[in-house]
Amino acid sequence: MTTYLFISDLHLSPEHPRLVRGFLALLEHYQTKQTQLYILGDWFNAWIGDDAKSPWLDKIIQALQQFTAQGNQVYFQVGNRDFALGQAFLDQFSGTLLPDTYFLEIHGQHYRLEHGDALCTDDLAYQRFKKIIRNPFLLGLLKKTPLSFRQKLAQGFRKKSASSKQNKQYAIMDVNADAVTQAMPPQIQTLIHGHTHRPFIHQQSAQQQRIVLGDWKEDMGEAMILEISEDNQFNFIKWSF
C-alpha cells in the first residue's frame, strides 16, 4: 500500500546539521514503505542554483538516490526560499518538479497542494517582491551570474526577510480567508500547504479541510508532517529527530 507523505519548511543548510540529519532519518524511515514524498517548498533555507556543489548536499543527493532506487517517488514544489531550484537538481535522483499549484487525486479524493505563500495576500510587500524576483527573465539572468554573487544575494535576501518579519503584524503573515476560499472550490476536499509555520487542521466546512504543515524546529528536533494512506486516512504526525 502506497504512503503519501507531505512535508514542508525544512530550511536545510550546512549551518543547521540537525535539520539535515532529521531529513536523512526521514528518508531512511520511509525507505521501505512504498512512499510518494511531496516536499511543499522551503526544502532549503536558500537555493543559489542547481549548479551548486558541496559535501553536505552530496549526502542528501546520495540518500535520495537510495530512496528512489527502492521505487519511492519524490515531488517538489518551490517555496519562497528555494524558488530557483529546478528540474536539473531533481534529475540527480529521479525527482519531479511540480507547478506552484498541483492537484492530486487519491482514490476519488481531490487535494490541492501548494507552498502557501500565495495565500498570504495581506502581505502586500512580500507579494510585490515575489512578483519581481520570480519573473522568468530575471531568474534566467540570475542563473547566469557567478555562484559567489548568488551566494551573497541569497544571504542578503535572508537578512531582509528576517528583518521584515520583525516589523510585520502576526496576522499579515498568515493566509487570507478569501484567498483560501478561492483556492478551495467545491471539487477540492483538502488543501495542503506550509509556509506559515502554524501547523493545524482547519475544518473549512463539513466537506472541506485545510491542513497546514509544520516547519522543522532545530531546537526542539521536531516537525508536524502528514501521512495519507491509499484509503485517504490522515495521520498528522510529530516527526522527532
The letter for the amino acid at 115 is: H
Write down the residue that cell numbers 530512496 correspond to: 67
pLDDT band, residue 150 (cuts 50/70/90): confident
pLDDT band, residue 222 (cuts 50/70/90): very high
Residues spanned by the domain of 159:
3-240
Give dist(CA 52, CA 57) in Å, integer. 9
Q: How many domains does the chain have?
A: 1
Q: Which residues of 50-59 are buried (b: 16+ CB within 10 A; e: fewer)?
A: eebeeeebee
pLDDT band, residue 162 (cuts 50/70/90): low
What does pTM read for this prediction? 0.92
pLDDT recorded at residue 145: 86
pLDDT digits (tens, 9 = 90+) for 71-119: 999 999 999 999 999 999 999 999 999 999 999 999 999 999 999 999 9
pLDDT recorded at residue 148: 79
pLDDT digits (tens, 9 = 90+) for 29-79: 999 999 999 999 999 999 988 988 899 999 999 999 999 999 999 999 999
Which phi-psi region, left, alpha or beta, contains residue 41 (left: φ > 0; alpha: ψ -120 to 50)? left
pLDDT band, residue 155 (cuts 50/70/90): confident
Q: Is the pLDDT of residue 132 over 80?
A: yes
Average pLDDT value for the chain: 93
**CB-side neighbour CA atoms (13 Å) of 58:** 3
Residue 222's domain is classified under what CATH number?
3.60.21.10
Give dist(CA 112, CA 223) in Å, integer. 21
pLDDT recorded at residue 147: 77
